[in-house]
Structure 1
Amino acid sequence: MRAPIGLRISTRRKALRRSQAALARSVGISPSYLNLIEANKRQVGGTLLQRIAAELDISIGELTGEAEHRLIYELTEAFADPVLADVGLSADQARSLVATQPQIAQMITRLHRAYAAAAVSADAYANRLRADPLLSQLLHQVLSRITAVRSSAEILDEIKDLSSEERERFVGSISREARGLTAVAQNLIGQFDHASIASRSASVRRELDDMIFAARNYFPSLEERAAEIAVDLGEQASEATIIDHLRERHGITVERTANPPSGQAFAYNAERRTIWFRNTVPQSTRQFQMIRLIANVTSGGVLDTVAGAPELSSKTARRLARAYLSSYVAGAVLFPYERFRSDAEALRYDVEALSERYNASFEQVAHRLVTLRREDAEGVPFGFLRSDPAGRLTKHFALPGLLLPQTGHACPLWAIYAAFRSSGQLVRQVVRFSDGSRFLFIAKAVSRRSSGFADQALPHSILLATDILHADRTVYADGLDLRDSGADVPVGPSCRLCTRADCPSRQEAPFAPGTEATLTGSIA
């Protein structure tokens, strides 16, 4: 769903009492072309949109309506829920509601979030009660111990001529069973608490997404802190200098072993002030994690300040945000903003070429590309998505105009899944959504190293997405006729939100009322 950028440009220009001719002259285009832009008959993006925003003294975010677009998406998702599907809210009605009654639209999405969290919690408890053998066993133990206590108590109450020795034996039995009952009850409560924590994870992820979205995934204070750490490490920081810095400045030693104490690829023991790495962990990961550790031990103040954002309402959300923010700092240290953006422009955003230049992984470079959102020096705007081999989405960063699925699975036609069939090879794809919006997708499946024969190195797929308006700034547009939409792959966001009822790859029936679809993809 594209935001009406042209209308916003026209409204802002008129508010400033500037003519079309004057604005067109200032940004270096013809008045007729500006007229087409304002009429939403021409798409605008990249440097031209930046020049227009600068001339109108308005942020790009306000022109593109990023926040409004996200609200439209969430509203559409809410009304796609089976509980509200009968209402039949159309995309145009969603846009109209957000434009005319934004407070009501926000209230609906918040209520839907609360409902979704409650439904997940109820399902978690119901599933545990029905199917969890541990809960069944614990409940059986509770009943058994209650029965034992009751039997002993009845004997004491009904049989009056018990000897003192017998009475003492039954009292001891009641005491033992009561203590056992307490322990079992605590375990039972712990299991329910675990289910409750798991059910809250979805809402916590939403809060973290809200914080990142509100900041456009760019945090100036963290960029400044990263620059300070980079100065401390030296201009030509290597793995050896980072290890020396950890030892000399922070008393932290780095060890490499075939079997870290935690059994994970790497682990930090705060008490021993030692960070371990498996021998097979690549250098790029070792350097990233060591710098992330430096950020954690030296930047608590700035990390806590940013993690105190109003979008985060719980300690769990702030803890997860702090972990993400420390990774942000590490990425900013390894890929200094100005130099990295300059290299990205020179290499036309060739992720593999950037990986080679910076001796970094594909995923690390992709992460940093997503954060190049400083308004006066913005890179190509990318969205980011990661999938595990089962197709489950494990990480995402939204792109204005393309709000990626929060959880579950994306459209099965997306390149992120095709990349699994071409492991190690980059897959590119031009897609078109039902509203006419077009995007360039690039994806690659990569695997982490295993430490031995018995360890499985599961691949995961990384996807970067950008609006077709910016595609020609990347190397991935070479050889493509971006003006010809005939070769586009028709896709949707996910099966349940897709309106293409005749799609042969559909895996789930759509939620839209009155829409029938054949689940050809799910039939063996």
Structure 2
Amino acid sequence: MKTYIGPRLRRLRQQRNQTQAEMARLLGISTSYVNLLENNERSVSVSVLLKLLEVYRVDWRDITEDDQATQLADLRAALQDPLFEQDRPDLQQLRAALAHSPDLAACFLRLHGAYQSVSEHFLTLAEAGAAPDMVNLSPEASVHAFFRRRDNHFEPLEDAARALTAGDMFPPDEIYSWIKRKLRDDLGIAVQLAPTGDLPQTLRRYDAQRRQVLLSEALDHPNRVFQLFHIVCLVQHEGLLDELLAEFGIEDERGQARCRVELANYFAAAALMPYDAFLAEARGSKYDFDHLATRFGVSFEQACHRAATLRRPGATGVPFFFLRVDRAGNVTKRFNSTKFHLAEHGGSCPRLEVHGCFRTPGRIVPQLVEMPDASKFVVFARTVDRPSFTRLAQDNRLAIAIGCPIEHAGEIGYADEMHLPAAHATEIGINCRICPRRHCDQRAQPALTTAGPVDTNLRGATRYES
């Protein structure tokens, strides 16, 4: 078997500040032969190899060990990045690069690794708000970072919600009356239904001084109940909310207030959809969210959101992300217990069917998607209607998407007709600003990471591609 040692021989010579002629004299060979060895145009003979080991006192494994297979695999993996889609080297070129310039290949791998780290750091800043001193975090970013750090699960709130109804027996259809009595008898808070004219553009108002909750007539029954459980948490568990917020260390007042609201929402969902009962029903129905909403007397959106919180160690549900968008594509709510990156600023990827489901209101739209890192998720989108105050505010509609890694598709009934895993996956990104995909005909903005020169003689799929 032939052994080529060109790059290692060159490195050995350069480390000793020798010319090819000086090395040739020490090894007893010609300068031209040293040149051929260094350029891998000749394999090294046993006699020259032994002389090399004798003169330079090096371990033979440092000279002959072949790690090209590992480097080749690393190079091929790195070059799958969409950044190199237009001019990706073929296998023969990669082998030649490793044979003649292994140090350059190693430098490339380190550089690409650094690029990935910076990209991941950018996503962490944008998605999780890990460095407030480097980015101006919005209150919504603070909420998302707080919930993401806790894997979208808060066991102290689960315990508090469980304790609220412990020992009380009441029919499910009497829960509205029960929670009103609870507020009145335990907390001294009265509940009153108010005409929409008395609460313009407002669904609920709590007056702490008068100990009164006003609920708008625009709220349907599930949301009236939900709002009252929300108030119970704000009033009865103020200390618990303070402890949770102190744990995360949010200093911004708006961020604290938004987190407090979302924690109270979490409590309300946990009280209305008790963890163990909801998890068992979800598994039994294969996450039929219409069935879950009916079974627990909540809205479709509330059932979807609750499913994304089932992350108790030892009793976890399917890991979901939850996303809500408006007609313009703006993200209005997001929670995540998966590795799926959710956009914070601007719209989400237009290739997500969550945008297209506005054409079929009220129907579940399933989709298999693939992220730039090749991870795949099954996503289910549907529209939800918001309360209307007057005839002038009709068709107040949003869309939600809930998704999980493809590995869990077998646990979801909505995926039964998708013919996975052979189904075509829609290639998506986080949003256009940080999506590395080239030639996307839906691109609305140039990518920050893959912007290249503009060719005035070429018109690509979009005005940003040339």
CA-CA distance at 1:113 after TM superposition:
5.3
**Aligned with 2:336 (options 389, 395, 398):** 398
Taking the TM superposition and a 5 Å limit, the aligned residue runs for 1:86-485 are: 92-95=113-116, 114-117=133-136, 202-231=137-166, 234-236=169-171, 238-259=175-196, 261-263=198-200, 264-485=202-423
Q: Is structure 2 residue 433 aligned with structure 1 residue 500?
A: no
Find the aligned partners of 1:268 and 1:414 in 2 and give their Cα distance.
38
CA-CA distance at 1:91 after TM superposition:
6.6
CA-CA distance at 1:269 after TM superposition:
2.0
Q: Decide which structure has the larger Cα Rg and report it.
A: 2
What SS does the corresponding residue of 1:309 show, helix, strand or coil? helix
Find the aligned partners of 2:244 and 2:463 in 1 and give their Cα distance.
44
Question: Is this contact kept in 2: 1:505–1:521, CA < 8 A?
Answer: no
Question: Is this contact kept in 2: 1:444–1:463, CA < 8 A?
Answer: yes
- Match in the other structure for 2:37: none
Q: Is structure 2 residue 428 aligned with structure 1 residue 491?
A: yes
How big is each residue's C-alpha offset from its partner over 1:222-267, in whole Å with a ceiling of 9 and x where there is no partner? 1110111122654545111112222222222222232263311222
Find the aligned partners of 2:447 and 2:264 in 1 and give their Cα distance.
39
- In structure 2, relative to structure 1, the CA distance for the partners of 1:273 and 1:521 (3 Å cut) is farther
In structure 2, runs of 5+ residues without a counterpart are 1-69, 71-109
One-letter amino acid of the counterpart of residue 279, structure 1: E
CA-CA distance at 1:90 after TM superposition:
7.6
One-letter amino acid of the counterpart of residue 204, structure 1: P
What SS does the corresponding residue of 2:314 show, helix, strand or coil? helix
Question: Is this contact kept in 2: 1:447–1:457, CA < 8 A?
Answer: yes
With normalisation by structure 2, the TM-score equals 0.68
Mean CA deviation greater in 452-461 or 431-440: 452-461
Find the aligned partners of 1:499 and 1:491 in 2 and give their Cα distance.
10
CA-CA distance at 1:518 after TM superposition:
4.3
- Match in the other structure for 1:19: none
- In structure 2, relative to structure 1, the CA distance for the partners of 1:358 and 1:244 (3 Å cut) is same
How big is each residue's C-alpha offset from its partner over 1:80-120, in whole Å with a ceiling of 9 and x where there is no partner? xxxxxxxxx98743556799xx9xx99xx989754542xxx
CA-CA distance at 1:399 after TM superposition:
3.7
CA-CA distance at 1:495 after TM superposition:
1.3
Question: Is this contact kept in 1: 2:129–2:141, CA < 8 A?
Answer: no
- In structure 2, relative to structure 1, the CA distance for the partners of 1:254 and 1:521 (3 Å cut) is farther
Question: Is this contact kept in 1: 2:130–2:145, CA < 8 A?
Answer: no
Find the aligned partners of 2:130 and 2:263 in 1 and give their Cα distance.
28
What SS does the corresponding residue of 2:343 show, helix, strand or coil? coil
One-letter amino acid of the counterpart of residue 277, structure 1: L
One-letter amino acid of the counterpart of residue 186, structure 2: R
Mean CA deviation greater in 257-266 or 369-378: 257-266
In structure 1, runs of 5+ residues without a counterpart are 1-38, 40-88, 118-201
With normalisation by structure 1, the TM-score equals 0.61
Question: Is this contact kept in 1: 2:383–2:398, CA < 8 A?
Answer: yes
RMSD: 3.0
Question: Is this contact kept in 2: 1:419–1:427, CA < 8 A?
Answer: yes
Find the aligned partners of 1:348 and 1:110 in 2 and give their Cα distance.
34
Report how many aligned residue pairs link the two structures: 346
How big is each residue's C-alpha offset from its partner over 1:487-522, in whole Å with a ceiling of 9 and x where there is no partner? 111211111222222111111111124447946489
Question: Is this contact kept in 2: 1:382–1:466, CA < 8 A?
Answer: yes
- In structure 2, relative to structure 1, the CA distance for the partners of 1:478 and 1:90 (3 Å cut) is farther
Q: Which has the larger share of helix?
A: 1
Question: Is this contact kept in 2: 1:331–1:368, CA < 8 A?
Answer: yes
Mean CA deviation greater in 271-280 or 317-326: 271-280
CA-CA distance at 1:307 after TM superposition:
1.3
- In structure 2, relative to structure 1, the CA distance for the partners of 1:286 and 1:353 (3 Å cut) is same
